[in-house]
Amino acid sequence: DKGKVIECKAAVAWEANKPLVTETIRVDPPKEGEVRLKVVANALCHTDVYTLSGQDPEGLFPCILGHEAGAIVESVGPGVTSVQPGMYVIPCYTPQCKDAACIFCQSPKTNLCPKIRATQGRGVMPDGTSRFSTLDGKPIYHFMGCSTFAEYTVVAEISCAVVSEKAPLDKVCLFGCGVSTGLGAVLKTCAVEEGASVAVFGLGAVGLAVVQAAKIRKARRIFAVDTNPKKFEMAVQLGATDCLNPNDIPDKPIQQVIVEATTWGVDYSFDATGNVEVMRAALECAHRGWGVSCVIGVAASGKLIQTRPFQLITGRSWKGTAFGGWKSRTDVPDLVDQYMDGKLPIDHYVTHSFEGVSAINDAIHALHEGDCLRAVVSY
C-alpha cells in the first residue's frame, strides 16, 4: 500500500474526559522524512490518561493518543534512510535527529532534541499538517509524535528507534516510555552510585523501574512510597528495602519519616506521582549537603512546585528527567538487547493484556483500578 491512503481502526479521543471511540480512519502516506508504521502492541502510560483527562495544556482534540508502542515499518517517505519496510521500531516521543548542527544531540548532557518539538506540541507533523482524518475528511490531531492508539500511524524518521526483529513487541513496547524513563532517571539522569540511599514516590511502572534500576546500581537502601499498599509486593521483589504508606503515618510528614530513618535524608529521591506536594516531600527528604531529587511525574496544568529556598541553600538540588535522559535512537535498541539477553527483565510490568484497538478503554479502566502496572493491547 506504499503511497496510498490506508483505512484502519483507531481509538479516537473526541473530547476530554470521554471514553475513546473506535473509528475507521484514514492514514495518509508518509511525506518527506516520515515513516508509516503498523502498530503491533501498545502499553498504556499514565500520561495518555492525563492528557485524556483534559489537564494537559498541550492536549488537543480530536486526537489519537498513545506513545508507548512496538511497531513494524509499513512504508517510508522520500529521503528516509535509517529505516526500511519490515523493520521493528519503537516510536519515541523524544526524537534524536543526530544532526551535526543540533547542539542538543551533540551534547552528552541531554536527550532533549528540539528538532520537531514545536509541531509535535501542536499535534501535527513537521510540515504543519496531520496524516490522520475521518472518513469524511476532518483532520485528527497527532499526539507526542507517536499516536499509537491506531493500527497504523505516521511518525518522523528521527522518532524511530530500530530494535531487534527477534524482540517480542508486546513486551518491548514498554521501552517506549515508562520503564525506560524510570530506569534512565537512576542510571543516566542521576547516575546513582553503588551504596547510595534512594527514595521513590509512586510505584507505578515508572516508580518501580526506579526501584529496579536502584537495585541494579547496588543502592544500599531503597525506600518505596505509595498510598496504594498493593504496590509494595512488586517493589520488594524488585529490591525495595523499606515500604511506606503515608496514610499509615498521618501525624508526620513523609519526608520527616525518611529523614529520621536515615539521619540526614537519602542521597537520591524521585517523584513518579505527578503530585506537586509529593515533589516537595521528595526534595525535602534528600540528604543535607548533597541530596538530589529528580522530578519524573507530570503535574496538571497550572500546578507549581514549592519549598523553602533554605532546602537548596543547604545542599539539596532539584532536577528532572524526560524519557530518563536516554538518547532514543541510540539507547533504546541497547535496552532491548539487554532485555533479549536476559539481563534486564521487564515482563513483570505487564499485568494486563487485551486484544484490539477498541480494548484501549479497558486498559484505561484497568490503570484506574489500582492493581495495574502496564496494560498491553495487541492490535
Residue 47 among the catalytic residues: yes
Burial code of 158-177, b = ≥16 C-beta within 10 A, e = fewer? bbbbbbeeebbbbbbbbbbb
Residue 232 is classified by DSSP as: H
Residue 176 engages ligand NAD in binding (rule: CB under 6 A): no
d(CA 156, CA 160): 7
- Catalytic position from the list 117, 221, 348, 365: 117
Q: 331, 360, 374: which is closest to 151 by C-alpha? A: 360
CB closest to ligand NAD, residue no? 204
d(CA 189, CA 198): 14
d(CA 123, CA 125): 7
Distances (CA, A) of 236 to 282, 293, 373: 20, 22, 15
Nearest approach in angstroms of CB 208 to Zn ion is 14
Interacting span for Zn ion (CB under 5 A) from 18-26, 38-46, 107-115, 147-155: 38-46
Residue 57 interacts, among Zn ion, ligand AHE, ligand NAD, none and using kind-specific CB cut-offs from 5 to 8 Å, with ligand AHE
Which residues are near ligand AHE by CB under 6 A? Answer: 45, 47, 56-58, 117, 177, 298, 322-323
Residue 272 interacts, among Zn ion, ligand AHE, ligand NAD, none and using kind-specific CB cut-offs from 5 to 8 Å, with ligand NAD
Task: Output 171 or 287, the one with its CB closest to Zn ion.
Answer: 171
d(CA 9, CA 32): 24
Task: Output 58 or 248, the one with its CB closest to ligand AHE.
Answer: 58
Binding to ligand NAD (CB under 6 A) within 181-220 occurs at 181, 201-207
Residue 144 engages ligand NAD in binding (rule: CB under 6 A): no
Residue 227 interacts, among Zn ion, ligand AHE, ligand NAD, none and using kind-specific CB cut-offs from 5 to 8 Å, with ligand NAD
- Catalytic position from the list 102, 119, 134, 241: 102
Per-residue cell: 271 = 517523584
Task: Tell me which amino acid residue 185 is.
Answer: A
Residue 120 engages ligand NAD in binding (rule: CB under 6 A): no
Q: 326, 359, 343: which is closest to 161 by C-alpha? A: 326
Residues in contact with ligand NAD by CB under 6 A are 45-47, 50, 177-178, 181, 201-207, 225-228, 231, 246, 272-275, 278, 296-298, 321-323
